[in-house]
Amino acid sequence: MGKGLIITLIIVILLIAGGTFAYFKLSQKTGCEVYPDQIPSDGSSMSKDSCYYTQAKTLNDASQCDEIEGTQWADSCYSELAISLQQDSLCSKVKESTKISDCYQGLAEATRNPSYCSYIPTLSAKDNCYAVLAGTLPDITVCDYIENSAQKENCKKFL
């Protein structure tokens, strides 16, 4: 009985020690979680969002963008990865209108594919995308997609 009691006590002590270790290990912050939510005013550290942004770009991993809470950081993250990875589905995760336009125009330029300009929500930005791409390719037929007649004519004259 004495030997059984000692073994039982050892098992209980090991379970308590293991549980305590696991609790403290799980409660510790790792990776980007160690950074504050906002960049300190003295600029001494990065924020969680800027950390996830940097990891996403470094690893070419859009799942890191999903962890970003701030719209500005998240939009930049998705947009830049959409262009570098040439994945149009990432542009659909961008929320701010100007960034959406930048995303699809960047994708159109990177892939040399004017069809991405059609996803741009504002007419003026869409026409600008076609004009830029027409000059980049160069391909005068891309000017035909421009809806503003004056801009369409200027596009054709330029080429």
Burial class (CB within 10 angstroms; exposed 0-12, middle 13-18, buried 19+) of 94:
buried
pLDDT of residue 54: 94
pTM of the model: 0.76
For the chain (159 residues), the mean pLDDT of every run of 10, in chain order, is: 65 59 41 76 73 95 95 96 97 96 97 98 97 96 98 95
pLDDT (tens digit, 9 = 90+) per residue, 84-118? 999 999 999 999 999 999 999 999 999 999 999 99
Q: Where do the structural domains in the chain lie, given as residue ranges?
A: 45-95, 113-159
